[in-house]
Amino acid sequence: MKVYFTEKQVADSGSFSPSASKPAQVVEAWLAAGFDIEIVRPGPVTRADFCLAHDAAYVKGVLSCTKNNGFGNTSREVADSLPYTTGSLVAAAKSAFKSGTVTVSPTSGFHHAGYGNGGGFCTFNGLIVAAQKLKNETTCGKVGILDLDNHFGNGTEDIIKKLKLDYIEHFSGGASYHKPKQAEPFLSMLPEMLRDKFRYCDIVIFQAGADPHIDDPLGGWLTTEQMAERDRIVFEVMKEMGIPVVWNLAGGYQVEKDGSIPKVLELHSNTMRICLEVHAKEEDKVA
């Protein structure tokens, strides 16, 4: 399975969130686990690409470090990493669409970024940039954004409405699901929701957030087993419908006192394991 990663997308955000630095740790964990993955080095997107989703003045200000990024600072290290973070998702999305299969972008920090602002550890909305690039540069018609991060993708919704992007189907679980008592109803409704909402999509971008985990300080409603079931449902239903998927990491904030994130890494590894298992089933069927 192709994983689109470069060290240039990694940065120290100077914040509580590990999102900007965790891609390298996640990929290292996946390689150490012996997962059958291929690392592909993506290139950066351009300033013009960011402007497919954002106000030009905002883009210029962030990249020139005169406007705050989504972490609330003007870090040059973060600014330099941003074109590669979105570049990873764009490259992975194009690859998934072209091959008709599943690819991975070990990235976070997208869905709270609106048309002219960032926030919530999100600076530029790579989800929208990727959708726009697919629409403009390939034969892709309808794009699905399946956001199962713990929090509502308000920035994504803002841009869709601002730019009238009627070719995007957007579902953000964080809009309605937050409590442990909702876990089983969520898992029960998920298969049919996916079949209904995304059946006409040519690709689905899946934010496989780790922050809904019950022990996450910014989440707290799905157990490890329930999160695994969430991922299995998504990958199996998308396979059933023949829809390519590109998935990314999104949130996850279980940080230990020493700054390490073993619990977050475990959750992201579980997603990869399940994805490979579902993918392997399809390969066995073809063989």
Mean pLDDT of the chain: 96
pLDDT value of position 281? 53
User: What's the CATH code of the domain at 132?
Assistant: 3.40.800.20
Calculate the alpha carbon distances from 56 to 4, 10, 61, 255 in Å.
Answer: 27, 24, 9, 35
pLDDT digits (tens, 9 = 90+) for 92-137: 999 999 999 999 999 999 999 999 999 999 999 999 999 999 999 9
Q: Is the pLDDT of residue 287 over 90?
A: no
**Could you read off the pLDDT of 189-198 as tens digits, one per residue?**
999 999 999 9
- Write out pLDDT tens, residues 208-266: 999 999 999 998 899 999 999 999 999 999 999 999 999 999 999 999 999 999 999 99
How many angstroms separate the CA atoms of 123 and 19, rounded? Answer: 12
User: How many structural domains does the chain have?
Assistant: 1
Give tens-digit pLDDT for 29-58.
999 999 999 999 999 999 999 999 999 999
Domain that holds residue 123: 2-286
Beta bridge partners of 168: 143
